[in-house]
């Protein structure tokens, strides 16, 4: 260690890296401590000296309380150095190393970072290497350090040689996707790094991980960190982190000020410090169990036992379980954990085998990490055939213990209550689960659920699944529509009476409630459940649907975004919301999911021929009730307005969905059928679909403007929409979803 560097007396070493050394020193002239950054004289190229000069220029150009102050740049016999403010405190990396941070502490740090970045970005400078070791925490606030990779958004000619095109610069864990690909960085790249650091501060773990740098970079470009759960403040922060970490720069916050403004809306904890820390959600998939020896009496357990375990775990607030349908594609395979982790976006895989020997069933289960394949636990269960109903509960509790999943008092009660008391009842239930996913088997599934409930009338999941079957029969069967709706509602009510927090009952019930004109109550109920279980994607899927019926289109999209963040494979009804918002590009990307409006969006984009081909293909793939609606669209696009009108009149005879009446009404209006349009729109609004912003602005309804009957419909929709907005705000939907409605 030298005694002096330039005019400074050296008192110690603060840090050392591959490019140089940082010393502690003292300026005897002004009697103040300093930090002195130097460049090694051997083993490094000339770019190290140039970067130190650039760091000095950037730091000198910034006068901000959250930027480490530069005193001077100089050179002596040992080489180039810069003298700067000596900070007292610790690096953010040291603070995170001790524990995750309470929400308010983390937000205070981020606000300081963003204030400094806003000043940098206004001067056209991008930091490019933000990371916890470059953020220093002092008694007086945050200080940004190390501007060696900082550069103007548009390079000066002398600086372009320091970073050749296509060269990756930065630290992999905090690098934006565009930097990882060797593309140029802009202020949104720094925002990505801030999002990654906020995630790490709250969770105590890095957002993007890997055993080697190339794996980390792959995660940065393609993976999404697990959702954070905890208090309302944590849920709100997670939503903002997700936007900051968007893969495409256009989808992120565009400025540091935008992110700072959004952070100010996070609810302040009722106490001075946030005691509930964030927890990354565990993403789990339960694979169908492999039957080792074909056995007709046991085969049904392969799918249905896995589904029952999935249903039990899905009610827990800090675990997201992929659906049984998503898991079914891996039924015949020896688990390929890397493939499953990539395709299903999960952290853990539960798999197992079944073997019956006489009157006993042997179940071998394994819980493994994905994609690395680490074994978390493995256990054998050997039960008598009459005790198979105990398997679900035993396996679920073992998973909870193995993953150290924290359970609330409500969740403990839930796990204990949703277990059947009869082995025969459970067998009926599991056989019904296997049948209920295929329409031709709905009646058989219904009968098995009823037999289950005769033996165990307090088994809530059976009531919920029975309600689902009745709901499907009411929507897609031509007979007993109303009667099946009544039966479905009774079944859901019984399920929730027995088990008020049963997740599958809430999510399925919402689909029935909107058809019965009760979208506002359904939305409020789902928001209440989502506050308790912010990691349940099905609750947000339901909110996507109910919010749209209430005319809360931004909330509908936000609910979809949250649902997909929790489960990237989940399918919501957001395509209809995009259509109503005029986002035809997004609708066109998934046109086959909703072919009637998908075709109209393609037409709006000038792709008529593509729309016609798509409609012809889809006519062979949809239910008979939907075919007529597709032909309405195709005949209109092909210029056969008269045929389109005839087909539309025929199609509306079978309608029961209020949203379908809205589509019919706007189509009638576009074809000039005023009376039919008004009648259909009245049925939509009175049936519970009161999407006021669209009724007030849809250009296909222009022929109705000024008609007293239509204006009365719009007035009724507006009144109900305002009631819905109040209910949304009263239920704190704005805090949960980050929108006003």
- pLDDT, residue 417, reads 67
A 10 A CB-CB count for 210 gives: 16
What residues are paired with 143 via a beta bridge? Answer: 136
Of the ranges 165-169, 276-280, 312-316, which one carries the lowest mean pLDDT score?
165-169
Q: Are 12 and 24 in contact (CB under 8 A)?
A: yes
Mean pLDDT of the chain: 87
Highest mean pLDDT among 17-21, 53-57, 215-219: 215-219
- Phi and psi of 222, rounded to 5°? -130, -20
Q: Is the pLDDT score of 283 beyond 80?
A: yes
Q: Which CATH class is domain 574-737?
A: mainly alpha
Residue 157 clears pLDDT 80, i.e. is over it: no
User: Is a pLDDT exceeding 70 seen at residue 271?
Assistant: no
Residues 565, 227: contact at Cβ < 8 Å?
yes
Instruction: Please give the biggest Cα pair distance in the chain.
Output: 95
- Spatial neighbors of 232 by CB under 8 A, at least 6 apart, are 267, 531, 732, 735, 736
**Using an 8 Å Cβ cutoff, are 603 and 579 in contact?**
no
Residue 325 has pLDDT above 90, yes or no: no
Of the candidates 676, 663, 704, 674, the one whose C-alpha atom is nearest the C-alpha of residue 579 is 663
Give the 3-state secondary structure of residue 322.
coil
Q: What dihedral do alpha carbons 367, 371, 373, 378 form, nearest 10°?
A: 0
Q: Which CATH architecture fits 90-280? A: Orthogonal Bundle (1.10)
What pLDDT shows up at residue 168? 47
> Is 129 designated active site?
yes
Q: How many residues does the chain have?
A: 741
With H, G, I as helix, E, B as strand and everything else as coil, classify residue 353: strand
Residues 66-88: tens digit of each pLDDT: 988 888 888 887 788 888 889 89
Structure tokens at 426: 């459970």
d(CA 90, CA 229): 28
Across the beta sheet with 135-138, the strand order is 89-91, 135-138, 141-144
**Which of 291-305, 434-448, 494-508 has the least mean pLDDT?**
291-305
State percent of the chain over pLDDT 70: 92
Distance CA 616, CA 610 (A): 10
Picking from 639, 548, 627, 553, the residue whose alpha carbon sits closest to that of residue 595 is 627
For residues 415 and 100, the model is more confident at 100
How many Cβ atoms are within 10 Å of 637's Cβ, its own excluded? 18
CATH of domain 4-85: 3.30.200.20
Alpha-carbon gap, residue 395 to 392, rounded angstroms: 5
Across 394-408, 413-427, 576-590, the highest mean pLDDT is recorded for 576-590
pLDDT at 40: 65
Interval 479-490 mean pLDDT = 90
pLDDT tens digits along 335-389: 888 888 888 888 899 999 999 888 898 999 999 988 778 889 899 999 888 777 7
What is the DSSP-derived secondary structure letter of residue 131? -
Is it true that the peptide bond before 103 is cis, omega within 30 degrees of 0? no
The two structure tokens encoding residue 462: 């059976």
Is a pLDDT exceeding 50 seen at residue 161? no
Distance (Å, whole) CA 315 – CA 484: 27
Residue 496, classed as helix, strand or coil, is helix
pLDDT tens for 2-46 read: 899 999 999 999 887 656 788 899 999 999 999 898 876 654 556
DSSP labels for 629-671?
A: HHHHHHHHHTT-HHHHHHHHHHHHTT---HHHHHHHHHHHHHT
pLDDT of residue 84: 87
Whether 274 shows a pLDDT value over 60: the answer reads: no
Q: Over range 154-161, report the average pLDDT.
A: 38
Does the structure show a pLDDT above 70 at 460? yes
Catalytic residue among 27, 31, 129, 554: 129
Please report where in the chains the tokens 């056989």 appear, as a residue.
Answer: 431
Domain ranges of the chain: 4-85, 90-280, 574-737
């Amino acid at each position: 260690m030298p005694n002096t560097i330039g005019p400074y007396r050296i008192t110690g070493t603060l840090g050392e890296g591959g490019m140089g050394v940082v010393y502690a020193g003292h300026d005897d002239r002004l009697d103040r401590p300093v930090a002195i950054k130097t460049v090694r004289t051997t083993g490094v190229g000339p770019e190290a000296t140039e970067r130190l000069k650039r760091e000095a220029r950037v730091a000198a150009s910034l006068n901000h309380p959250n930027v480490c102050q530069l005193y001077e740049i100089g050179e002596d016999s040992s080489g180039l150095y810069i003298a700067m403010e000596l900070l007292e405190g610790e690096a953010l990396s040291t603070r995170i190393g001790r524990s995750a941070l309470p929400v308010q502490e983390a937000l205070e740090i981020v606000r300081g970072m963003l204030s400094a970045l806003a000043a940098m970005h206004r001067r056209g400078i991008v930091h490019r290497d933000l990371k916890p070791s470059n953020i220093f925490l002092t008694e007086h606030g945050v200080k940004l350090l190390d501007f060696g990779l900082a550069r103007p958004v548009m390079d000066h000619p002398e600086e372009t040689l320091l970073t050749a095109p296509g060269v990756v610069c930065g630290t992999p864990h905090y690098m934006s996707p565009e930097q990882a690909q060797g593309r140029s960085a802009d202020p949104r790249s720094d925002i990505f790094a801030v999002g990654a650091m906020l995630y790490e501060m709250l969770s105590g773990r890095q957002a993007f991980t890997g055993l080697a740098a190339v794996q980390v970079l792959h995660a940065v470009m393609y993976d999404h960190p697990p959702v954070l759960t905890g208090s309302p403040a944590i849920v709100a922060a997670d939503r903002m982190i997700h936007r900051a970490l968007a893969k495409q720069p256009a989808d992120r916050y565009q400025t540091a000020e935008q992110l700072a403004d959004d952070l100010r809306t996070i609810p302040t904890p009722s106490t001075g410090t946030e005691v509930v820390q964030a927890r990354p959600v565990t993403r789990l998939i339960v694979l169908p169990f492999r039957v080792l020896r074909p056995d007709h009496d046991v085969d049904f357990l392969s799918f249905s036992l896995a589904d029952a375990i999935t249903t039990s775990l899905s009610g827990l607030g800090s675990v997201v379980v992929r659906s049984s349908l998503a898991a079914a594609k891996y039924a015949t395979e020896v688990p390929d954990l890397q493939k499953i982790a990539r395709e299903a976006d999960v952290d853990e895989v539960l798999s197992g085998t079944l073997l019956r020997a006489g009157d006993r069933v042997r179940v071998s289960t394994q819980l493994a990490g994905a994609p690395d394949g680490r074994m978390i636990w493995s256990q054998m269960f050997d039960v008598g055939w009459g005790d198979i109903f105990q398997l679900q509960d035993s396996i679920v509790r073992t998973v909870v213990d193995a993953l150290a999943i924290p359970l609330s008092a409500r969740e403990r009660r839930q796990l204990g209550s949703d277990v059947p008391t009869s082995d025969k009842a459970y067998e009926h239930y599991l056989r019904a689960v296997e049948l209920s996913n295929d329409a031709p088997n709905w009646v058989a599934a219904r009968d098995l659920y009823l037999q289950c409930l005769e033996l165990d009338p307090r088994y809530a999941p059976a009531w919920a699944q029975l309600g689902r079957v009745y709901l499907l029969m009411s929507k897609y069967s031509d007979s007993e529509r109303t009667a099946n709706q009544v039966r479905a509602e009774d079944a859901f009510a019984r399920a929730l009476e027995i088990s008020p927090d049963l997740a599958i009952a809430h999510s399925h019930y919402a689909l029935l409630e909107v058809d019965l004109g009760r979208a506002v109550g359904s939305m409020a109920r789902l928001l209440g459940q989502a506050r308790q279980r912010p990691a349940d994607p099905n609750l947000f899927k339901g909110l996507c649907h109910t919010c749209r019926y209430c005319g809360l289109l931004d909330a509908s999209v936000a609910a979809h975004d949250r649902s997909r963040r929790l489960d990237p494979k989940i399918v919501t009804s957001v395509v209809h919301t995009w259509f109503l918002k005029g986002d035809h590009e997004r609708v066109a990307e998934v046109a086959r999911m909703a072919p009637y409006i998908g075709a109209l969006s393609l037409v709006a984009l000038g792709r008529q021929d593509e729309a016609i081909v798509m409609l012809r293909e889809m006519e062979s793939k949809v239910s008979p009730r939907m075919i007529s609606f597709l032909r309405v669209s195709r005949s209109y696009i092909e210029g056969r307005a008269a045929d389109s009108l005839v087909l539309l009149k025929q199609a509306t005879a079978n309608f029961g969905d209020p949203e379908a009446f809205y589509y019919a009404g706007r189509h009638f209006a576009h074809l000039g059928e005023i009376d039919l349009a008004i009648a259909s729109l009245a049925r939509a609004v009175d049936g519970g679909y009161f999407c006021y912003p669209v009724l007030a602005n849809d250009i296909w309804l222009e022929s109705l403007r000024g008609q007293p009957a239509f204006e009365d419909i719009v007035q009724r929709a507006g009144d109900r929409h305002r009631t819905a907005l109040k209910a949304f705000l009263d239920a704190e939907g704005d805090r949960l979803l980050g929108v006003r409605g």
